[in-house]
Amino acid sequence: MNTKILIASVLAFSIVSFASTASEAAPKKAAAAAAKKPELPTVLTGFPTNLTIEVLRCVRANVAEFGRNNIVVLQFRLKKVGPNTGAVKYFGDARFIPLEIKAKDASLGSSYEVISGAGHEHPTRSGDTDTTNWKVGQTGDGYVWFKIPDDVNTLDIFFPKTNPVRVSVEVPKG
């Protein structure tokens, strides 16, 4: 009989102990979730091919050719989210051209264009993408480089055929 009481006591203690651990862990998990990086934006484009653009990352990079911390790399993902919403009338209707992406300093208003041209050691942008025949759910990733002073921390990004989106510039540690 004592054995049954002992087992019941241990079981009850374990349940109470587990419940208190779970309730103590909940605030820690909530704090960790709040400390996560803010979610980067996804926007619907005005392309008749029904695309969204998701910002994957906006980060500073050290590229000796351009000076310390003067390069901001913007990575993005195109996604076909539904059937074409209209006829593709001409070549530019369905072609996503990274060179047309613009950035603007959110506080001072200075504008920046994608670095282009030959003579750079590294490619500074991904290629153009024709989305005319993409299947629903198909994705494609791309990137562009901007030369932006290191004191700029927030950018308004203007993707072709979208409203601007605001992103924070991530600075890698180290």
3-state secondary structure of 80: strand
Residue 113 has pLDDT above 90, yes or no: yes
Cα→Cα distances 75→45, 58, 154, 161, Å: 16, 6, 15, 17
Q: Are the C-beta atoms of 96 and 172 separated by less than 8 Å?
A: no
Express each pLDDT in 117-173 by its tens digit: 766 777 899 999 999 889 999 999 999 999 999 899 999 999 998 989 999 999 887
**Rounded distance, CA 68 to CA 143, Å?**
20
C-alpha distance across the termini of the chain, in Å: 64
User: How does residue 7 score in pLDDT terms, banded at 50, 70 and 90?
Assistant: very low
For the chain, which residues make up each domain, given as ranges?
Answer: 1-34, 42-168
Question: Which residues pair with residue 96 across a beta bridge?
Answer: 129
**CATH number of this structure's domain 42-168:** 2.60.40
pLDDT in tens, 40-60: 788 888 888 899 999 999 999
Instruction: Work out the number of other CB atoms within 10 angstroms of the CB of residue 135.
Output: 7
Beta-bridge partner residues of 166: 156
Q: Strands 129-130 and 95-96, how do they pair?
A: antiparallel
- 74-95 core/surface letters (b: 16 or more CB in 10 A; e: else): bbbebbbeeebeeebeeeebbb
What is the percent of the chain where pLDDT is above 90? 47
